[in-house]
Amino acid sequence: MNKTDDQKFIEYIEGTQEKYGCLLHAYVFMTNHYHMIIETPKPNISKVMHYINGSYTTYINKKRDRSGHLFQGRYKAVLIDRDNYLLELSRYIHLNPVRTHIVEKPEEFIHSSYASYIGNRKDDIVHHDQILKMISKDKKTAPKLYREFVDRGIVVDLENPLSKTYGGSILGGKSFIKQALSRLKEEVVGRKETSHRKLLESAYQSDVIVDAVSAFLGVDNKEILNDRKEYRNICIYIMKKYTGMTNGQIGHIFNDLTFSAVAKVYQRMSKAVEENRTMRKKVGKIISSLS
């Protein structure tokens, strides 16, 4: 984005805040994509993003006398556990221009909310309080401490927090993920506009299945995921037979088993369940517990 387009995009975000009541915690506008941390007190993220992207697309098309889509594909939205990941994610986003070698220091990049965090610029559309309070309760020292926090990320190889997302859609600890899934499963998984609903549903199912097998066999989840092939194979059989999960999705859960390895496990287990009464009874009881 150039400076004029950048300002126009900010105007649309400001209009979105007034229209839908969302809060913008941080942003970085790159040349061909952007990152934002948005809080939506109401469950209306799809409306928020449609308004922003739609308004900006109309503006660019009119400016360049063109038509059609401006953004390639659909936006990617991730639900974040703000208590544990908001601060870390804000730093990672603000350092995006540094990682891509556009600038040496994040404050040199003008298409970003970072300068407003450290007091170099006023930015009325950004809600700074939540993140700065995580650094310090003292408003006077918080900007300086936040700058030091971000600067430390320049000299180390930071892991992308979004690489830890569960099912491609949730970033948080185990308890947060379970709460989010139980709260959102009915209203989110069934919506057509949810880009990751199939994967989210699969992730939910796999977690429940592993827990059920673990409880029935009296073993720790780690034994199922890493150590005991018999336990793992039961999980793979149930996931493959009773969910819509693909071989690739199942393989990813069990230390990145290949597509063909998952298929072979399922074939062997299908035969075992058919021919072995004990195995058939065991699997049947686990299925009943899931039901």
Residue, of 128 and 44, whose pLDDT is higher: 128
* Candidate from 55-59, 116-120, 129-133 with smallest mean pLDDT: 55-59
For 241-279, what is each residue's pLDDT tens digit?
877 778 888 888 887 788 888 889 999 999 999 899 999
Which structural domain, as residue segments, surrounds residue 86? 3-163
Query: Which tokens hold the place of 137?
Result: 């309760």
One-letter amino acid at 182 equals S
Same domain, 258 and 144: no
Which region among 23-37, 95-109, 171-185 has the lowest average model confidence (pLDDT)? Answer: 171-185
Confidence (pLDDT) at 86: 93
Q: Is 23 left (phi over 0), alpha (psi -120 to 50) or beta?
A: beta
Q: Within this chain, do residues 154 and 97 fall inside the same structural domain, yes or no? A: yes
Distance CA 22, CA 40 (A): 5
Q: Judge whether residue 155 has pLDDT over 80.
A: yes
Domain assignment present for residue 182? The answer is: no
How far is the C-alpha of 169 from the C-alpha of 53, rounded, in Å?
20
Does 217 score more than 90 pLDDT?
no
Average pLDDT of the segment spanning 178-182: 76
- Quick: pLDDT tens for 21-58: 889 999 998 877 889 999 988 878 888 888 888 888 88
The pTM assigned to this predicted structure is: 0.61
Q: Do residues 218 and 157 share a domain?
A: no
Rg (alpha carbons) of the chain, rounded to whole number:
23
Same domain, 125 and 7: yes
Secondary structure letter of residue 193 according to DSSP: T
208 and 138 within one domain: no
| Rounded Cα–Cα distance for residues 7 and 59 (Å) | 12
Asked if pLDDT for residue 125 goes beyond 70, the answer is: yes
Percent of the chain with pLDDT over 70: 86
Assign residue 206 the CATH number of its domain. Answer: 1.10.1750.10
CA–CA dist 11, 20 (Å, integer): 14
The whole-number pLDDT of residue 134 equals 94
Tell me the per-residue pLDDT of 61-88, one tens digit each, with 9 for 90 and over.
887 776 666 555 567 888 899 889 999 9
- Nearest by Cα to 184 from 125, 176, 60, 74: 176
What is the number of alpha carbons within 13 Å of residue 89 lying toward its C-beta?
A: 25
Q: Hunting for tokens 């600067």 — which residue is that?
A: 151
Burial of 170 (0-12, 13-18, 19+ CB in 10 A): buried
85 within some domain: yes
The four Cα atoms 18, 21, 26, 31 give a dihedral, to 10 degrees, of -60
Residue 236, C-beta contacts closer than 8 angstroms, at least 6 positions apart: 250, 254, 262, 265, 266, 269
Do 140 and 205 have their domain in common?
Answer: no
Asked whether residue 278 is domain-assigned, the answer is yes
CA pair distance 175, 177, nearest whole angstrom: 5
User: What span, in angstroms and rounded, lies between the C-alpha atoms of 155 and 149?
Assistant: 11
Q: Are 259 and 142 contained in the same domain?
A: no
The answer, yes or no, to whether residue 186 has pLDDT greater than 60, is no
Query: What tokens does 28 get?
Result: 């970085």
Number of domains composing the chain: 2
**Backbone torsion region of residue 218, taken as left when φ is above 0, otherwise alpha when ψ lies between -120 and 50, otherwise beta:** left
Mean pLDDT for 149-160 is 90
Write the CB contacts of 152 (distance below 8 Å, at least 6 apart in sequence): none
Angle of helix 174-188 relative to helix 197-217, nearest 10 degrees, comes to 130
Do residues 137 and 228 share a domain? no
Question: Is 33 contained in some domain?
Answer: yes
